[in-house]
Structure 1
Amino acid sequence: MSRKQPLRKGTLHDEDWHRANIRLQLETLLAEKARLANENSVYARENRFLREIEEYHQLTMHDVVYLDDEEVTEANLLTSPIGVSKMLSISPPSSAPPFPPLEDSSYATSPVP
């Protein structure tokens, strides 16, 4: 329909309906955009938190120094669930007492500052 043609009856009603429909679609899109922006901010916050945890973990792992391969093996054994269950099932050798004697001063500990 060109602008030079006279408006027919009901055309204004149709245009009003189209404008209302377009307005409703725009409002719906704006609401969706706001919801997505809010969701994005939540994910960004979680991402920052996880990166801080990762950074903290990396910094603390740099402080751990293993003196030899045996200690590394022991540490790996302690951290794995299979290693823990193996350690719990291993009994001490029968020739060695399970605990040091109480009167032995070599096992005394000094107070930690």
Structure 2
Amino acid sequence: MVQALGDWEEVRTHLIDAARAGHALTYSELLERLGYHFSRPKMRALCVTLGVVDRDGAERGEPELAVLVVRQSDGLPGQGWWVAGGAHDHRYDGSWEGPLAAKLIERLQGKAFAYWAERSP
């Protein structure tokens, strides 16, 4: 079983800052902010932490934040987001890549950007 990476509240803070600024973070950027170099094991551990962040946010009635963490190659979340519920939770059954996936992610990120832009730090 993969263990969570770092303090979920610190991860949440970085994601809220990104949402307020209106931009996504790559896995590498977020790992760097947490003091790590990118590696697949670190990325998988980060995904576990992102799940904790989103469960906490859902309990608060906030839009999801994990959707703000994306691959550098195409600006979309990785397989873990889609498999862990992202596609199912949004009743999406299309490809995890391409224009339809990008449209879904843009909409979800837009919700996070709008929500956090309205709230003061």
Q: Give the TM-score category using the shorter length.
A: under 0.3
The one of the two structures with greater contact order (alpha-carbon pairs below 8 A, sep at least 6) is 2
The structure whose residues are more often helix, as a share, is: 1
- Structure with the greater alpha carbon radius of gyration: 1
TM-score, normalised via structure 2 length:
0.21
TM-score, normalised via structure 1 length:
0.22
